[in-house]
Structure 1
Amino acid sequence: MSKINKVLFTGKTHTTVGRAPTGDDHGTVNLALSVPGQSEYDQKFEAVVAHPTAEQLFAGAWSACYITAIGLVAAQKRVALPADLSVDIEIDLGQAGAAWLLEARFLVRIPGLAQDVAEKLAHAAHEICPYSKATHGNIELSVNVATS
């Protein structure tokens, strides 16, 4: 698989749930989109029509699906998730020579769980998330899990 050697744009999302998701209740998903040239998730879209990029939309859809998958895996394993569970995804659009590619970076925050348990949940969620399955082997993916 080719790796990007020149990043042209990065779309970012920060996804949380209103309460910890369960197998039969997806909770409320809130997305904060970044804006090109902004380094943080401080842009608020209030009373205006937002114009997110394709990379932001892709990251938002993937993160909504993925955070729900974490909830499903946790419910199956009878692991209680914290209310402040979150997923940050960055999708890079870039080039490797003449080829155009995407790469993804996940930061999964599951405060209060043991690191090994949180990592197992994060990786198992990729096994059932349709977006993760569709992109597996097609784009470079890195996953970091934080428990504090």
Structure 2
Amino acid sequence: MSDIIFTSHATAKGGREGHVKSNDGVIDVNLVDPASKSDEKGSNPEQLFASGYAACFDGALNLIASKQKKEINSTLSADVSLLKDQEDNGFKLGVVLHIEIEGVTQEEAEDLAHQAHEFCPYSKATRGNIEVELDVKIV
């Protein structure tokens, strides 16, 4: 393994209808399967992944922009979908990243988003494994 900067730790018990908790207690949530139509409140693995991916990508986007001396404001939303996998009759993930950027042209925004997609650790981890679509808009 490369030089470790830091390590996060979380424990899940009970799968999609269980509980997940980080070692520091900041994340401490019940998990509810949205497909179950339950009235229970809780998160799900896709929602947690969407949160992490959106935060990571927005950080990468702002770092790339700052290195190019571009002052931007950005908002990142991630839609993470659980999809039926036709190849093995199982499941897979698909992601749409909705990227709103203020302070640059549409062409510059798209260029920044593509560079961030090359740099972002989540994008690197998912590359070739799941479909990721970039929806870039200037505001």
Q: Quick check: TM above 0.5? A: yes
Confirm or deny: 8 A CA contact 2:61 2:116 kept in the other structure: yes
**Comparing 96-105 and 128-137, the one that deviates more:** 96-105
What is the match of residue 146 of structure 1?
A: 137
Distance 1:75 1:139 in 2: 28
Amino acid at match of 1:129: C
Determine what percentage of the aligned residue pairs are the same residue: 36
What is the match of residue 131 of structure 1?
A: 122
Per-residue deviation, 1:88: 1.2
Unaligned runs of 5+ in 1: 1-35, 38-49
1:75 matched to 2:35:
no
Amino acid at match of 2:77: D
Distance 2:130 2:60 in 1: 20
Unaligned runs of 5+ in 2: 1-33, 36-40
1:89 to 58, 72, 78: 78
**Comparing 60-69 and 50-59, the one that deviates more:** 50-59
Confirm or deny: 8 A CA contact 2:71 2:103 kept in the other structure: no
RMSD, aligned α-carbons: 1.9
Structure possessing the higher radius of gyration over alpha carbons: 2
Amino acid at match of 1:105: V
Higher relative contact order structure (alpha carbons within 8 Å, sequence separation ≥ 6): 1
What is the match of residue 60 of structure 1?
A: 51
Please list every run of at least 4 consecutive aligned residues from structure 1 whose deviation after the TM superposition is greater than 4 angstroms: none
Which is helix-richer, 1 or 2?
A: 2
* Mapping of residues 1-148 of structure 1, within 5 Å: 51-82=42-73, 85-97=74-86, 98-148=89-139
**3-state SS of 2:102 partner:** coil
